[in-house]
């Protein structure tokens, strides 16, 4: 690690600042501030729980009912889903990476005011069922938020097959007032309709009921248009062939103990990753990088 463990740390002359704290539930976290924005990251799950540009509403949604308990997922922000997505028999949902406490390897405030931090998933018993791998996660906070999940197959002779997903929860003014563009023409697995495969025919997607869709072979940029907040959230990605869109709506919200009954009204998940038929098979020694850039701009 290249900076001290406590107090406020910044490279001399740099404008970015990193503060190490005990967050909710006394879980260790980092608060980052830059000339343009602020962010919060918990070591558990290397979980970005907030990114906010100055003079804008938060970009990420974080549930008021979230647990902050060691070994349990945080509800909201950006869970790192790896090495599997969804249910896996006998194992938990969405992999173990989101509930492990990641090692903080580097904190790098840059002269231009941005701040990058790098985490590594530590060795853990759950990983021993998989081909040996390393997982690094680089988070860069500036005018936008850039996330890079870097998986390397450390085996000399075996493939490593996995799924990954940056399960971003976005804050919106009103779920019925927003629309999502960039999905038209794509095929998706509809989890609300028993995984039946459908084709997106809408130019922009509007949400008026539970939506849980895995868009396949979806490599393009997606935008959330939010007229009441007067902003666009742009999700730009590389190394990702799947986009997942989720809003639990009323009944599912009530089933989730760590999510408020009405909170579905002001969130939407638009997630970038490689899941289902887009899972990744990495040859021995190879590396795969999933990069997601989240940015906002004014909607006029």
Q: For 182, phi and psi rounded to 5 degrees? A: 105, 5
For the record, the structure tokens of 294 come out as 């989240």
167 is catalytic: yes
Closer CB to ligand TA6, 72 or 134, in the complex: 72
Closer CB to ligand TA6, 80 or 280, in the complex: 80
Catalytic residue among 47, 163, 167, 263: 167
Interface positions with ligand TA6 (CB under 6 A): 73, 86, 93-94, 167, 191, 212, 244, 246, 269, 271
Closer CB to ligand TA6, 17 or 191, in the complex: 191
Tell me the C-alpha distance between 249 and 236, whole Å: 26
The three-point CA angle 268-271-272 to 5° equals 160
Closer CB to ligand TA6, 2 or 217, in the complex: 217
Is the link from the previous residue into 127 a cis peptide, with omega within 30 of 0? no
Q: Going by DSSP bridges, is the β-strand pair 211-215/222-226 parallel, antiparallel, or unpaired?
A: unpaired
26 is catalytic: no
Q: Contact, 179 vs 100, CB < 8 A?
A: no
Q: Which residues are catalytic?
A: 167, 271
């Amino acid at each position: 690690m290249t900076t001290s463990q406590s107090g406020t740390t910044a490279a001399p002359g740099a404008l970015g600042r990193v503060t190490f704290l005990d967050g909710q539930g006394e879980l260790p976290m980092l608060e980052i501030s830059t000339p343009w924005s602020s962010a919060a990251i918990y070591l558990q799950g290397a979980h970005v729980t907030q990114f906010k540009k100055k003079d804008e509403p938060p970009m990420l949604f974080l549930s008021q009912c979230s647990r902050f308990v060691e070994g349990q997922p945080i509800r909201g922000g950006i869970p790192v889903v790896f090495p599997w997505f969804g249910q896996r028999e006998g194992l938990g949902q969405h992999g173990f990476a989101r509930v492990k406490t990641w090692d903080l390897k580097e904190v790098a405030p840059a002269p231009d005011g941005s701040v990058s931090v790098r985490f590594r998933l530590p060795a853990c018993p759950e990983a021993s069922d998989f081909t040996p791998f390393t997982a690094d996660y680089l988070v860069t906070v500036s005018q936008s938020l850039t996330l890079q999940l870097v998986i390397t197959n450390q085996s000399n002779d075996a493939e490593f097959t996995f799924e990954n997903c940056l399960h971003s929860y976005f804050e919106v003014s009103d779920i019925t007032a927003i629309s999502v563009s960039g999905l038209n023409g794509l095929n998706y697995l509809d989890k609300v309709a028993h995984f039946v495969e459908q084709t997106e025919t809408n130019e922009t997607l509007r949400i008026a009921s539970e939506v849980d869709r895995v868009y396949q072979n979806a490599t393009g940029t997606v935008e959330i248009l939010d007229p009441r907040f007067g902003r666009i959230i742009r999700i730009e990605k590389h190394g990702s062939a799947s986009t997942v869109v989720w809003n639990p709506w009323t009944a599912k919200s009530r089933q989730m103990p760590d999510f408020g009954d009405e909170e579905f009204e002001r969130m939407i998940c638009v997630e970038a990753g490689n899941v289902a038929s887009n899972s990744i098979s990495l040859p021995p020694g190879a590396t795969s990088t999933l990069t997601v850039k989240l940015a906002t701009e004014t909607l006029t």
